[in-house]
Amino acid sequence: MQAIEQRVAALRAKATELRDLFGDEARARALEWAAGEIESAMRDDAEQLLSLADAAAISGYSVDHLARLVRTGKIVDRRGPRDTSARVRRGDIPIKARRAHISGADVRDLASRLFGG
């Protein structure tokens, strides 16, 4: 999400530049509209309620770990009166840092492709 937020900030900065430096109000407003649409979509996405299984698939954490976070109050359970299991807000779930792993064979294969060996 941080990359998207940075792009939105860049759009807003470009809108200011167009307006202040070039007097181009129409294009500036178009960029501001686009930035607002992106922000609105990000808010809607963050408000989406997920089951713990869906949250686990997105976050990289196990269902058990997320359930523990709900039980301890670190993530708010937002289940409705008819829900039988926990629901969490997408914007509230932690995202596990994912590490790229390259095996030795992959490195050798890449090197041979790059250097023709």
Rounded Cα distance between 89 and 76, Å, is 8
- The one-letter code for the residue type at 35 is A
Q: Do residues 40 and 62 both lie within one domain?
A: no
Q: Do residues 35 and 59 both lie within one domain?
A: no
Kindly report the number of other CB atoms within 10 A of residue 31's CB atom.
Answer: 20
The first and second tokens of residue 54, run together, are 């869906």
pTM of the model: 0.67
Q: Considering the domain boundaries, does residue 29 fall inside one? A: yes
Q: Considering the domain boundaries, does residue 87 fall inside one? A: yes
Q: How many domains does the chain have?
A: 2
Q: Considering the domain boundaries, does residue 40 fall inside one? A: yes
Q: Do residues 38 and 53 both lie within one domain?
A: no
Rounded Cα distance between 46 and 85, Å, is 20
User: What are the CA-CA distances from residue 81 to residues 41, 62, 66, 89, 93 (Å)?
Assistant: 27, 25, 21, 16, 21
Q: Do residues 86 and 69 both lie within one domain?
A: yes
The first and second tokens of residue 99, run together, are 């590490």
Range of the domain at 88: 48-92
pLDDT in tens, 60-114: 999 999 999 999 999 999 999 998 999 999 999 999 987 666 555 566 666 666 6
